[in-house]
Amino acid sequence: MPTRELLQKSDIFIPEHPDWNDEIKSIYNDVSKGDIGPKEASRKLRKYTSFPTFERAQLEMLYSSKKPVYFADLSSNDSEMNAIFESIEDISDAGQILMSGDESNFRESVSEFRAAISNFAIRQRKRERQIARNLKGTLELAVDENPELKEKKKLMY
């Protein structure tokens, strides 16, 4: 089923958005309410995203849907976000060294690049497990803040 149809059938929207904060949550909810459009929201969110095209597509789909938006991902207050960002920088640094063409350190460069990717994968798996753990509390918060959801036997998200 296409994503747009899934959103229409959903009661709430819980997008993936690492390093989210209250401003991001507010902007997403303003888009959902139709208070601001996707273009304006994209401009406001530009400083927070590495994937502006993807985020813009989400916002366009969300626009005026009236779906409450919550996040189960790691917030900007989560210390693990620093480790994830450091691992991304390590991949970039190792990749630049590898692509520099310095053949004298090629084996070492490949080894460092592999280690950086492996560390990033470990961090991402840890993040995914945390998202899964956060989901129950996120749903409970959504129900507490949206009384109309309390009467639903099954929430769609």
Give tens-digit pLDDT for 96-113: 888 887 777 888 889 999
Percentage of residues in the chain having pLDDT higher than 90: 76
Average pLDDT over residues 55-68: 96
Span 73-95, pLDDT tens digits = 999 999 899 999 999 999 999 98
How confident is the model at residue 23, as a pLDDT?
97
- Please report the DSSP string for the chain in residue order: --HHHHHHH-SSB----TTB-HHHHHHHHHHHHTSS-HHHHHHHHGGG-S-HHHHHHHHHHHTT----B---S-BTT-THHHHHHHHHHHHHHHHHHHHTT-GGGHHHHHHHHHHHHHHHHHHHHHHHHHHHHHHHHHHHHHHHH-GGGTT-SS---
pTM across the whole model:
0.85
Q: Per-domain residue ranges for the chain?
A: 1-157
| The pLDDT of residue 21 is above 80 | yes
